[in-house]
Structure 1
Amino acid sequence: MADEYFLLVCDDVHHDVVLTDLGVQVTDVVQVVRRLTGLSLWRSKVLAMQVPAIVVACVPEEDAVAAVSALRDAGARAETREQPESDFLKP
């Protein structure tokens, strides 16, 4: 029996949320990171202190924009970055 492989192509490009600066209100930013990631308070603080850090990876654009908005409301600087295209489809 021959093996069949299917390639699923999705139009939605996934985004990463990158924390670029903690700002002045570190505890507020750590709480937002905790809420976004589901990590413990201690691990959220460790992640937030390693700027630039990818807080949330491989999410749809609207979720990434919402996460960046929450981080900015807490006083941090954050941005979304598109994930690079995979080399799988390139010849």
Structure 2
Amino acid sequence: MADEYFLLVCDDVPHDVVLSDAGLRVMDVVQVVRRLTGLSLWHSKVLVTRVPAVILTDVPEEDAAAAVSALRDAGAQAETREHPEPDFLEH
């Protein structure tokens, strides 16, 4: 029996939210990261200080855009990254 691979095309491609710079208002950004991720204050601060950092993974595009907007409003630089299509090996 031959292996067959199928790529399912969805309307909603998962996105990641990446924090590239915390800016000058670090504690404001920490509070936003805490609200977005549900992490503790300490873990959120550690995540913010280790940039670039992936804040959220595999979220819908609308949620990723809202998270980036919230981070930018707090003074950070953030972006969304779309997951690339997987490469399947042919046998």
Which range, TM-score by smaller chain? 0.7 to 0.9
Q: Which stretch shifts more, 10-19 or 61-70? A: 10-19
TM-score (ref. length: structure 1): 0.86
Give 1:55 shift. Answer: 0.2
Provide the aligned C-alpha RMSD in A.
1.9
Aligned mates of 1:75, 1:11 — CA distance in 2:
31
Aligned to 2:28: 28
Aligned to 1:77: 77
Structure 2 unaligned runs (5+)? 1-5
Aligned to 1:61: 61
Identical residues among aligned pairs (%):
73
Q: The residue matched to 2:79 in structure 1 has which SS? A: strand
TM-score (ref. length: structure 2): 0.86
Structure 1 unaligned runs (5+)? 1-6
